[in-house]
Structure 1
Amino acid sequence: MELHVYKKPDKKWDNFVNRNSPLIFHTRIWQRVLSKGFKNGQSLYYTLEDNSGEIVLALPGVLLNFRLFNVFYSLPASYGGFIGDYRYIKKFFSVWYDEIINEEIDYIQITESPFRPLSLNDFSYDVITTVVHIMRIENLTKDKLWKGYKKTVRRMIRKAKKSNVKISKISSREEVPIFYRMYLESMKRNRAPVKYPVDLYYAIYDELVLKNKAQILFAKIDGNYIAGLIYILSNGIIHYFAGGSFTKYLKLCPNDMLFHSAIEHGIENKCRYFDFMASPKDDTNLQRYKAKWGSKSLELSTYTKEINKKRCLIMKIARYVSNTTIGRKFIEHFRKMAR
């Protein structure tokens, strides 16, 4: 068995993923999204291969360079984790350490997939637990979907319709900044750090929306943009990726209208699941919002390990202050430095 690392995976990678994972996040097209979206990132796709050159186990990821420390994410902004035959996990870790040193990785973060979870508790990793909500939509019709909603959900959607809220798909690249302004306002309103740069949303539009592998929906009233939602399509799964809204229009329930439309699109695309993706474990309001649609919750593990203790201390400090006004300004300044 030999360990290989690819900075630009080829068709061999996609053939392996097609046999072992339904997730678009594990494919080369998502690698291109991340490469364009994170200017300080370098793709690192590790593979454990047998004597014939066949991949038996793989770990896709991105190395993000923050000047003072390097973080290996599997994968940022999505699910990552191992793909393939889990019996080779121990062998993988036994040969991976030298590669970690060669790439000067200071911190490792591996987010598992809820569609094929894997525990790394036996390998001395710390665990961050989040909550993911998944709704089964297989064999649903739009009529069955509507009848299955709680009364409160139907009431919110009716309110949006009566307020003349209309849903439309993005029509040009020039609309991406509009969505990003909504996203920024939502993060500010929720006192949450801005995780993703606008480049990531441009990359999603260029690489996914134009190829019918994702969609950006807008809620409008009288032609004015009031809210937006991005979903991404995997094999049989529709993922809610991001959303945003302008605060003064929230009383019109545009977000409920957007989620209802996105779930309907999942039915149209013959998806089996609508994935609301992860929520912080302490954000019960967000969890309740996702649960009200009829989804089921399960815990999702992100495994972390500090390689360089001193440099990781800097990252801990940054995380500690990230929910403050000063902290958000610091992170934004730091992100600009890393570009």
Structure 2
Amino acid sequence: MVGGLPAFVFQPIPGIRLWHSMPWNLFGGIHLIESPQVNPETLIKSIETEAAAQGWCEIRWTLTPNRTETDGDLFTEMGYARTDHFTHLLKTNGDVELLWHAYNKRVRGAVRKAEKSGVTVTDTESEEALATFYDMYLMTVKRLGGTPKPCALMQTLLERKIAKLAIATYRGTIIAGLLYLRFNKTVTLWCEASVPAFLKYRPNNAIFHYIITQACREQYEWVDFGASPPENTGLISHKEQYRAVRTNFASYTKIISPLKRALWTKSEGTLRQIYTWMQFF
């Protein structure tokens, strides 16, 4: 064995299948042992051959920052369209005290306010807590105009120990929560939710600090704060107050069947609306 390629085939409607590299930590891509026997071009072509045989209409590789630099030009030469992205990464160095003092003073003040207000943060495996969190998550996504992840997916990730659920409690009531992933030496902040009426107690800051602390204690090397819309400068600034550093990476896409891809493009908006509506029932 010379490496691995985590990926999945997404079939939103019958007859439409898209191959996407697995987005763990927002970038998956190729994981190869350094060897002269490994030819990335041959690997890419083998996926394209499989795509044609299986009737996939699109191939999308999302590469790590390092792979973007080393292999990006090859994908471009092979006819792939590049899309640039960025995330924010925090190097833990296993030292939570050093990170605490590096935080912006407003972050430290917010964490202290949460503690003084009586907000407590813990991980939970309770199905009841997950149900409460998911209801809160649906309201948060609706408020922000997004598309929610299914509760069954969250449950599966928790059962398989890929994810943990951190909840903030105030006087016995869950007021915020964050489902975070733990994979490949990285903790990824994934699905966040909170009750607006309790934001004055700064539960989200308390949760972020709690997860960063846990990542240090469990020897994870990185905390990934996730991608941000480029126009959302407030969110970007918030992540950087924890001293997370903007990190660029890219995805590379090739359309195998233009007709099928056009059909998915035309129907995607409507299907997302239907899917979002279904999560509330």
Q: TM-score range by the shorter chain?
A: 0.7 to 0.9
CA offsets 1:188-243 (integer angstroms, 9 cap, x no match) = 1222222x2111100111101xxxx5421100101111111122223432222221
Counterpart of 1:32 in structure 2 is none
8 Å Cα contact 2:94/2:217 also seen in 1 = no
8 Å Cα contact 1:318/1:331 also seen in 2 = no
Cα 1:171–1:92, aligned 2, differ >3 Å: closer, same or farther? closer
Q: How does 1:70-109 map to 2 (within 5 A)?
A: 70-76=17-23, 78-85=26-33, 87-109=38-60
| Partner Cα distance (1:233, 1:220) in 2 | 23
SS at match of 1:294: coil
Q: How does 1:197-216 map to 2 (within 5 A)?
A: 197-208=150-161, 213-216=162-165
| Partner Cα distance (1:67, 1:139) in 2 | 45
CA offsets 1:74-118 (integer angstroms, 9 cap, x no match) = 115643211115751111233333311222101222221246544
Amino acid at match of 1:203: T
Q: Tell me if 1:236 matches 2:189.
A: no
Q: Tell me if 1:66 matches 2:12.
A: yes
SS at match of 1:81: coil
Counterpart of 2:131 in structure 1 is 177
Q: Which runs of 5+ in 2 are unaligned?
A: none
CA offsets 1:148-195 (integer angstroms, 9 cap, x no match) = 21111112112222221111211323322222222222211222222x
| Partner Cα distance (1:65, 1:139) in 2 | 40
Counterpart of 1:276 in structure 2 is 225
| Partner Cα distance (1:219, 1:329) in 2 | 30
Counterpart of 2:266 in structure 1 is 317
SS at match of 1:96: helix
8 Å Cα contact 1:129/1:281 also seen in 2 = no
Amino acid at match of 1:129: D
Root-mean-square deviation over aligned CA pairs:
2.5
Q: Tell me if 1:122 matches 2:68.
A: no
Q: How does 1:33-52 map to 2 (within 5 A)?
A: none
CA offsets 1:56-91 (integer angstroms, 9 cap, x no match) = 354221112122411112115643211115751111
TM-score by length of 1: 0.72
Cα 1:80–1:236, aligned 2, differ >3 Å: closer, same or farther? closer
Amino acid at match of 2:159: D
SS at match of 1:278: coil
| Partner Cα distance (1:260, 1:163) in 2 | 16
Of the structure 1 ranges 161-170 and 270-279, higher mean CA displacement relative to structure 2 is found in 270-279
Counterpart of 1:111 in structure 2 is 62
Amino acid at match of 2:160: E
Q: Which runs of 5+ in 1 are unaligned?
A: 1-54
Counterpart of 1:143 in structure 2 is 97
| Partner Cα distance (2:140, 2:111) in 1 | 20
Amino acid at match of 2:228: S
Amino acid at match of 1:205: L
Counterpart of 1:298 in structure 2 is 247
Q: CA deviation at 1:334?
A: 8.9
8 Å Cα contact 2:51/2:59 also seen in 1 = no
Cα 1:334–1:177, aligned 2, differ >3 Å: closer, same or farther? closer
Cα 1:183–1:305, aligned 2, differ >3 Å: closer, same or farther? farther
Cα 1:261–1:98, aligned 2, differ >3 Å: closer, same or farther? same
Amino acid at match of 1:98: T
Cα 1:143–1:200, aligned 2, differ >3 Å: closer, same or farther? same
Amino acid at match of 2:2: V
8 Å Cα contact 2:178/2:193 also seen in 1 = yes
Cα 1:309–1:170, aligned 2, differ >3 Å: closer, same or farther? same
SS at match of 1:280: coil
8 Å Cα contact 1:127/1:304 also seen in 2 = yes
Counterpart of 1:255 in structure 2 is 204
SS at match of 2:13: coil
| Partner Cα distance (2:244, 2:47) in 1 | 37
